[in-house]
Amino acid sequence: MPVTYDLESQKRVYAGWAKIYDRVYQGMLERPQRESVAAACACGRDILEIGVGTGLTLQYFTPESRVIAVDLSLDMLRMAARKVESQKLDHVLGLMVMDACRLGFAAESFDAVTAQFVITLVPDPEQALAEMDRVLKPGGEIVIASRLVDDRDFAAPLWRAVAPLAKAVGWSADFKVSRLTDWAAATGRYETVHVGRGYFRVVRLRKLVSAAAQTTNGSEPLALEA
């Protein structure tokens, strides 16, 4: 499928963020990142992390896991590669440049697919979800962490009030939880097993064991050059 949106501007933005990202976000994102990784690890050993960025999450996986991590930005991946080496994260089997909407993996390759703080940045989130679905084994989970809005949340007025601040740091102020859960329901092959609370939420969508294999096309992976 041809790329019809501007990936280059995303790459430019994250080339700028790569060196300072950890200092700004490490503490802020740790709770939802740990929660997402724990949920992914509970599904099995073979895990795909999409939009891994500088690799802040990689230290949270169990040593038994086998993690492949992808990102659009080579600059961010270089920071992740340094962590893999310096922290001896042997469970990380590969870091690859790849677009969330064109995953270069065979159908049903992973026990879990996790995407943290990336779904709201992707111009076509449903296409990214379709790709996650394609590469996920039946019985596995799509685990998403992000700034997600739920209008039934008692704190929704507060979140709306701070929306301009969130926008200033690049978070979508209006990406609704229901966009994920509606996608899951529409497939007829997923159940929503968890919707977290708070400003940053973790959402878990489980692929039914009875779900049939999907065979849409993906792109070839590009190996990261250290």
Ligand X SMILES: C[S@@+](CC[C@H](N)C(=O)[O-])C[C@H]1O[C@@H](n2cnc3c(N)ncnc32)[C@H](O)[C@@H]1O
* CA 147 to each of CA 28, 57, 118, 174: distance values in angstroms, whole numbers, following the listed order: 12, 17, 10, 9
Measured between alpha carbons, how far is residue 89 from residues 27, 93, 110, 129 in Å?
Answer: 20, 9, 19, 27
Q: Does 52 bind ligand X (CB under 6 A)?
A: yes
Stretch that binds ligand X, among 71-79, 82-90, 149-157, 189-197 (CB under 6 A): 71-79
Taking the complex as a whole, how short is the minimal distance between the CB of residue 32 and ligand X, in angstroms?
8
- Residue 36 CB coordination number (10 Å): 29
CB of 115 to ligand X, least distance (A): 7
Residue 72 or 142: the one with the smaller Cβ distance to ligand X is: 72
Report 118-147 residues binding ligand X (CB under 6 A): 118, 121-122
Site membership for ligand X, residue 43 (CB under 6 A): no
Strand order in the sheet with 46-50: 190-195, 200-207, 136-147, 110-116, 46-50, 66-71, 92-97, 222-223
Binding ligand X by CB under 6 A: which of 40, 68, 99, 140?
99
111 binds ligand X (CB under 6 A): no
DSSP designation for 211: P
Q: Which is nearer to ligand X, 45 or 78 (CB)?
A: 78
Is 58 a binding residue for ligand X by CB under 6 A? The answer is no
Q: How far apart are the first and last CA of the chain?
A: 28
Residues of the shown chain interacting with ligand X in the complex, contacts defined by CB under 6 A:
10, 14, 25, 29, 33, 50-53, 56-57, 71-73, 76, 99-100, 116-118, 121-122
